[in-house]
Every structure is written in C-alpha cells, then in structure tokens.
Amino acid sequence: MEENKDKITFSVLVGTISSLWQQYAVILILVILAICLDVITGLIKSKVTGVPLDSKTGTVGFWKKMSFLISFMFGIFMDAFIPVLLSIINIELPFNCPFGFIIGVYIILNESISICENIYKTNSNAIPKWIIKFLTASADEINKNKKDE
C-alpha cells in the first residue's frame, strides 16, 4: 500500500511539473538565457574596462538574479493559484492568468537592457544606439507606471 502511495505522489508531482514545463518552457529558457548572457557580458565588460570584480558587487548581482527567478516562480504560482481560488467561489476566468509570462517578459527586458549596456561599454560600435534607446524607453515606461501607483 505504501508503495502505491509513493507511486501516486511521484506521478502527481511529475505530471504537475510536466504540465507547467510545457506551458512555461520557452519563457523559462529565455529568462535563464538572458540572465546568463547578462553575467557573461558583465564579466567581459569588467575585463575590457579594467574594473576589477569584487565580491560585494558579485553577491548583490547574484541575489538580484535569484530574486528575478523567485519572482518568475511566484508569477507561475499565481497563474495556478488564482483559477483554483476563483473556482472555489464559482467564478471562472475567460482567459488564462498571464502573471508568469508578464513577469518573465519583464525580466527578459530588464536583462536585455543590462546586456546592451555591458556590450556598449565594451564596444560602443557593437550595438546600434536605437536598440539601446528602444529598450531604455520601454523600461522607463514600465517604471513610470510603477511610480504612478
């Protein structure tokens, strides 16, 4: 009996993870890729500009990246939790909750700005200035909306 309980628990856990992976796989891969590219371009910028790496900056950066991943996981949690909560009170949403995707896109945008800044400081001719202006304007618009709240 205990063996069946373990199999059922394992099956539910793997099934849930598979379902979430299928839905969030692309955005998760893009978030992780953006974070990795930001770290790599930051290391290159440090080497090219001659600014030494220090542990305080590295530690702050590490925890910032972890907070991004945790906020993304929280968005996924909200996507799953809100429909369940609403179903308890017999309300059905006519659309899927977009929190995980919104947070994921925000992280990718934020990291893309940082990647562009790192590349620009390494070689100002490597990226067209209009791309940096576009990304910065997008972030400014998002942050402006935050300030209005």
pLDDT tens for 4-20 read: 676 667 666 666 666 66
Q: Distance of alpha carbon 60 from its chain centroid, rounded? A: 17
Dihedral sign computed on CA atoms, order 50, 56, 58, 63: negative
* pLDDT given at position 18: 62
What whole-number distance in Å separates Cα of residue 135 and Cα of residue 115? 11
pLDDT at residue 17, as a whole number: 65
Compute CA 120 distance to the chain's CA centroid, rounded to the nearest angstrom: 22
**102-to-51, 109, 135 alpha-carbon distances in Å:** 34, 11, 16
The whole-model pTM stands at 0.74
Residues 35, 46: Cα–Cα separation, whole Å: 17
Average pLDDT, the chain: 82
Taking every pair of Cα atoms in the chain, the longest distance, rounded to a whole number of angstroms, is: 67
Q: Do 102 and 24 contact (CB within 8 A), yes or no? A: no
Low-confidence ranges of the chain (pLDDT < 70): 1-4, 6-8, 10-22, 145-149
